[in-house]
Amino acid sequence: MAKRVAVLLSGCGVYDGTEIHEASATLVHLSRAGAKVKMFAPNTEQMHVVNHCEGKPMEGKRNVLQESARIARGDVTDLTKLDVKDFDALIIPGGFGVAKNLSDWAVKGKDYTVQPQVEKVIKAFRQAGKPLAMCCISPVLAAKALPGCEITVGQDKECEKWPYAQTAGVMKDMGCTHVNKNVGEAHVDVKNKLVTTSAFMCNAAFHEVFDGIGVMVSELLKLA
C-alpha cells in the first residue's frame, strides 16, 4: 500500500520561504517511491519579503500559504486542517522560511520558539509513533519540539563548505545529540523516528543535495 506523506512548506524561496530545490527533490523522491503526498502550510503572513536578486528585505507583505501554493502547483492546504490520522509520515524541507515563518530562529537564535501549530503537528506525529523527516535548517524545529532528539545539520566545524556549522553547537547546547554527516548522508534517530540530512547547510552541488534528500526520504519510508 502506498505511504501517505504530509509535506509542510514555509513559503516559496530560500531567503523567506521553503528552499525550492529541497522541496522539489523531496517531491521527486516521494513520487518515485510511489508515495501519496499532500502539502500543507500555515495560513499566516510571512515575517518579511526578500528580494532574491539582492538578498535584502523589500516592501510588501505575502501570505505563507499563498506562496507555498507556487511550489504545490496550487494544491496546498491550511496547516490547521492536517489530521495526523490521515498520514503515515511528515516531511519538512528547509529554507529560511523555517527560521522565519515556522519559528523565530532567525530573530532569536537559541531563544527561539516554534510556531504553535507547527509544534503541535510535530508532537502529534511523534505521539502517534509516525516518522518525521527534516532537512537543512528544519531540524531546529525538532530540537525544540522533541527535546533530546538526535539530529544532523551536517558538520559541527565551520568552514567554507559548512558555513552554518555553528547551528550544530546550539543544538548540542539545547540537549540534542548532533551527529556529523556528509551531504549525501542522513541520520536516523530510531527512538524518535526522526530522519535528518544537511541539504543546503552545505555548499554542495545540486545533485549532491538531491541525492542526500533521496537518502532521507528512503529512510523515512522504511520507518513508515
Instruction: Dump pLDDT digits (tens) for 78-94.
Output: 999 999 999 999 999 99
Cα 96 from Cα 142, distance rounded (Å): 16
In this prediction the pTM is 0.98
Task: Examine the pLDDT at 223 and tell me if it is beyond 90.
Answer: yes
User: In this predicted structure, what is the pLDDT of residue 1?
Assistant: 87
Residue type, 80: T
User: In this predicted structure, what is the pLDDT of residue 94?
Assistant: 98
User: In this predicted structure, what is the pLDDT of residue 12?
Assistant: 98
Task: Examine the pLDDT at 203 and tell me if it is beyond 90.
Answer: yes
Residue 192: CB atoms within 10 A of its CB come to 17
Whether residue 136 lies in the annotated active site = yes
User: In this predicted structure, what is the pLDDT of residue 10?
Assistant: 98
Q: What's the DSSP call for residue 143? A: H
Q: 122: pLDDT confidence band, cut at 50, 70 and 90? A: very high
DSSP, residue by residue, 77-123:
EEGGG--GGG-SEEEE--SHHHHHTSBSHHHHGGG--B-HHHHHHHH
Cα 82 from Cα 108, distance rounded (Å): 28
Percent of the chain with pLDDT over 70: 100
User: In this predicted structure, what is the pLDDT of residue 129?
Assistant: 98
Cα 10 from Cα 83, distance rounded (Å): 18
In the chain, which residue ranges form alpha helices assigned H by DSSP? 20-32, 64-71, 96-100, 105-108, 116-127, 139-145, 166-173, 206-223
Cα 166 from Cα 140, distance rounded (Å): 12
Average pLDDT over residues 187-196: 98
Annotated catalytic residue, options 136, 149, 176, 202 = 136
The three-point CA angle 105-71-97 to 5° equals: 5
What average pLDDT is seen over the chain? 97
Residue type, 12: C
Strand partners for 221: none
Average pLDDT over residues 178-200: 98
Task: Examine the pLDDT at 96 and tell me if it is beyond 90.
Answer: yes
Instruction: Dump pLDDT digits (tens) for 127-166.
Output: 999 999 999 999 999 999 999 999 999 999 999 999 999 9
